[in-house]
Amino acid sequence: ETGVTQTPRHLVMGMTNKKSLKCEQHLGHNAMYWYKQSAKKPLELMFVYSLEERVENNSVPSRFSPECPNSSHLFLHLHTLQPEDSALYLCASSQEWEGNQPQHFGDGTRLSIL
């Protein structure tokens, strides 16, 4: 069973749509993350949750709204996105968030904004 599962794998949406990305981890980890990966740019950390509490928010526009209902699930709610938001969105988890634990990544959601 895959440790970190993301759905959908691909998503095409218009700028006025509302959609959600889902992430589920089966590793018993306490921390979960959202990253954005654009072409020719480094991975950008968006949000960090530890035991369902948000611990870091890297100046992400409000059109991205995270939700962590429990330590196994993480959502990223999207609304009124812009074309520059087209990217690969990666979810990851780690045992703890304190920075010395390896992260396990999902395969990502490839998002295209029309």
Partner 1 sequence: GQNIDQPTEMTATEGAIVQINCTYQTSGFNGLFWYQQHAGEAPTFLSYNVLDGLEEKGRFSSFLSRSKGYSYLLLKELQMKDSASYLCAPSGYGQNFVFGPGTRLSVLP
Binding site for partner 1 (CB under 8 A): 4, 33, 41-43, 45, 48, 56, 90, 97-100, 102-108
Torsion-angle region of residue 99: left (phi > 0), alpha (psi -120 to 50) or beta? Answer: left
Under 8 Å CB-to-CB from 80, ≥6 apart: which residues?
A: 15, 16, 63
Q: Which is nearer to partner 1, 33 or 64 (CB)?
A: 33
CB of 14 vs partner 1, minimal distance in Å: 24
Q: Which of these, 56, 59, 58, 111, lies nearest to 87 by C-alpha position? A: 111
Q: Supply the minimum distance, in Å, between the C-beta of residue 12 and partner 1.
A: 17
CB of 1 to partner 1, least distance (A): 15
